Structure formats: C-alpha cells, structure tokens
Structure 1
Amino acid sequence: MNALRLVVFDVDGTLVDSQKTIIESMHRAFASAGLAMPSKEAVLGIVGLSLDVAMARLAPKETREMHHALADAYKEAYVALRAKEGTPASSPFYPGMRDLLITLALRENILLGVATGKSRRGLDKLIEGHGLENLFVTQQVADFHPSKPHPSMLKAALAETGVEAQDAVMIGDTSYDMDMAKSAGMKTIGVSWGYHARNALEGADRIVDEVAALPGVLEDIWRLDT
C-alpha cells in the first residue's frame, strides 16, 4: 500500500457522540420560537446536513426567515452548552476513535480529513477542545459548501490533498455521507454506531459495527484496488 491515501471522516455520529448536545440545542431553538419540539428521531435524522437545510426539513411549514432564526438560536444554544460542559463532555469520542485517528495519522502514506455539517467555528472548537490540532490536513465545513449530499466538500478535499478519488475513502454514519462520497467517486465505509439506522447505510461499500474494525476494512478496500 504505497500510494498516498486520503481518509475523510464525518464528525458528529462518526468521530464524536454529540447527540445529547444536539438534541438539547434543537429543543431550545424551537422553544425560543414557540414551535413544537421535533422528536429525537427527527433531529438525529438531519444531523450532517447544513443548518439551513436541516431547519427546513424539521419545520417545513415555516418561512425562510424562521428557518434562519431557528438556525441562529440553535447555534447560540450549542455554544452555551459547550461552554458550560466543555468539549470532551458535550462531544465525547466514541470508544477507541481517538487512538485510531492517531494511529492512522502516523502512517506516512495516509492523510486524514473531515467533511462535516458543522461550521468553521464549531469544528475549530471541537478540534481545540480535544487537542487535535494539525491532525486533519483538509477540513471541509458547511460555511463554504452546499449541504451534504452534494459532493463539493469531498471534491475540495481531493483538490487540496492531490489524492485521486479512487485512493480516497469516506467514513460516516449517515446516508448523506454515503451519497456524497459516491457522487465524488470515492469508496465508502458506513459506521453503525451513529445517528442513521444501519439499513440506511446500504449504499456503503462496507459497514462496520465497531471502531476496531476500521483499519482492517481500510486495508481490504485498498488491497482490492491495487
């Protein structure tokens, strides 16, 4: 495995479990607007989408102005909860994930990246809070791209790193991640511990049920491509 490889991770639901903070922030946002609270299932179903798209799906009868207001209220609530609890508590790593990232980063022929529905500020705070500076060589966020599953994020990641699509893999927990990667010509690995049901990941090249399985699956995918 000598070719330069790129492994791009989704964040929420793949690297970290932020669902408690996400759900509470969403509930606060809708309460501030006097709207009925979306269900937990509905909220987790939109994780990964850009906030404007997510709010339109959660409140389809509301105006565009209300969607913007909800997004702003959500961001305000999320920032407040993160400041109160601290990043490791509000967005803890899934067991074994931090060690996996460090192990992969030490490989000379592997580059790591992220493609997330988070904002630039949100991702920066997460990386800083977990002490992961300089780990991800390409970081694609919602501020500068159309929402997933549009392939813009991954095409930018490939351009920044100079890695060919056939040598890159997207790892995520939602159908949005899988569809985005397929559109970009990348291989996909779905993780079942996140926010979409396992059967929503059927479009993935492989599905894994535990973090420890990821290195072996990556090797298998790359071996088949050589």
Structure 2
Amino acid sequence: MLYIFDWDGTISDSTAKICKCMQLAAQEVGLPVLSNEQIKNIIGLGLPEALRVLYPHESDASREAIKLAYSRHFAQADVTPSAFFPRVMETLDALHEKGSKIAVATGKSRKGLNRVLSNLGLEDYFHASRCADETCSKPNPRMLQELLVEFDVPVDKAVMIGDTEYDMSMAYQINMPKIAVSYGAHSLDRMLKYEPQLCVDEFEQILNWNFEGK
C-alpha cells in the first residue's frame, strides 16, 4: 500500500512561515504585500505557478525578483524547520511498521525538500518523493502518476493525503483515493468538491483508512 503525503500544511506546520517569507520578499522588491489569506490560497503550487496567481499583472522580471527573494528568506527561516503537526511521526512510524510505502508529493522545490529532510535527519525515511520543479506542479497529476510507476502500484492501492484543493484535484483526475486534512491551508469546503473518501481533523486519523475505502 502506498501513502502519498503533501508536505506544507499536511505534515509540516509551515503555513505561517510561508506567508511571512512571501510578505518579506514582496516588501523587499517593491511589490504589493498580500494578506495571509491571499498567500494561503496558493500554498501547494510550485513557486513560479504560485507567483503567477499572486501577481498576474506583474512582469516576468518582477516575478523572478520576488521568487529569488522568497527563496532566500525561506531558506534563512527554515534553518529551524517548522514543527510537525501533532503525532505525525508516530503515525508515519505506524505505517512503516505495517509495511506500507510512504512518499511525498509537494509544491516545494527539490532543494527545499532535501534541505528540510536533512535538517530533520529524515533523508532516508520516505521511500520516494516528487517536487514541483522536477515534474509538473499541482494540480497536474503527473507527480502522482510517476510515483505509481516507480512503486508499480495500481491507483486503487495508493492514497493522496493533503490539505489543499490542489492535492485533492490531482488525485481526483486519476481516480486515486483521497484523504483531506482539515487543519491546513485550505478550508474543508474547498476540498469537498473533489469527493475525498475520508476527512480528518487530526493527522493520526489517517490510520482509520483502509484500501477498501471504508
């Protein structure tokens, strides 16, 4: 069985850090400083895709400037990794003990994911991962399709766990089961239109999932 996890807002309580770093970057390069709610809307997308949503009328040069500034601010802030949500490691350990495969599908860059895994001493903990800068950004389902091929797992023996409509959408497009977590960047209402098979308020509740969909 294959469990595929989003990172920011699902495993890692990093939403506030993302918002703050985006606001600092905008201030630095002279672009409008957006609200937390506006920024939370794009969490889950790859950074270039996110900036096109946040700043649709700015030039490519301006978006490149804020991209570089954001990446620098986030790398500095992420020297101290964001805390995990309660009972994340205990739940992931339980999945390991059951013999399940666990993977990450994230809007983070490969450099960013590798950095946080290294800082946490988890470089070899997940069996595989896909990042937005090495495949298509969410909500395109390509990263999920690549993980299915890598593990040689049929789609009904995998499940996507995430906190945004982008996570739910990419799984919905390929008929992959979905678990929506209610505590992350997007409201549960935004995710329900993609018909998640399970909605949870706490991370450890994903252990209630079985692959008969009950």
Same fold (TM over 0.5): yes
CA distance in 2, matches of 1:24, 1:9: 24
Q: Which residue of 2 aligns with 1:210?
A: 202
Task: Identify if the C-alpha distance between structure 1 residues 224 and 194 changes in structure 2 by more than 3 Å, giving closer, same or farther.
Answer: closer
Structure 1: runs of 5 or more not aligned: none
Match of 2:27 among 26, 31, 35: 31
Kindly state the Cα deviation for residue 133 of structure 1 after the two structures are TM-superposed. 2.5
CA contact (8 A) 2:23 2:34 kept: yes
Cα offsets for 1:117-154 (capped at 9, x unmatched): 00111111111222222221110001111210001110
- Percent identity between matched residues is 36
| TM-score calculated relative to the size of structure 1 | 0.90
Name the counterpart of 1:146: 136
Deviation readout 1:181-211 (Å, 9 max, x if unpaired): 1123310000001000110110222211112
| Post-superposition CA distance 1:8-57 (Å, at most 9, x none) | 00000000111222112101110111112011001111000011111111
Q: Shift of the alpha carbon at 1:103?
A: 1.2
Moved more, 97-106 or 147-156: 97-106
Amino acid at match of 2:48: D
Please say which of residues 63-72 and 110-119 is displaced more in the overlay: 63-72
Question: Retained in 1: the 8 A contact 2:181–2:200?
Answer: yes
Name the structure 2 match of 1:70.
66
Residue identity matched to 2:78: R
Matches within 5 A, 1:1-226: 5-83=1-79, 86-87=80-81, 91-108=82-99, 110-202=100-192, 203=194, 204-216=196-208, 218-219=209-210, 222-224=211-213
The size of the alignment, in residue pairs, is: 212
Q: Distance in 2 between matches of 1:170 and 1:120?
A: 19
Residue 116 of structure 1 aligns with an amino acid whose one-letter code is T
SS at match of 2:78: helix
Runs of 5+ unmatched residues, structure 2 = none
How large is the Cα RMSD of the aligned pairs? 1.2
Structure 1 moving runs of 4+ over 6 Å: none
Counterpart amino acid of residue 153 in structure 1? M
Mapped partners of 1:186, 1:211: distance in 2: 19
> 1: CA distance between counterparts of 2:213 and 2:33?
47
What is the DSSP-based 3-state SS (H/G/I as helix, E as strand, rest coil) of the residue aligned with 2:166? helix
**CA–CA separation in structure 2 for the residues paired with 1:134 and 1:118:** 18
Shift of 1:63: 1.2
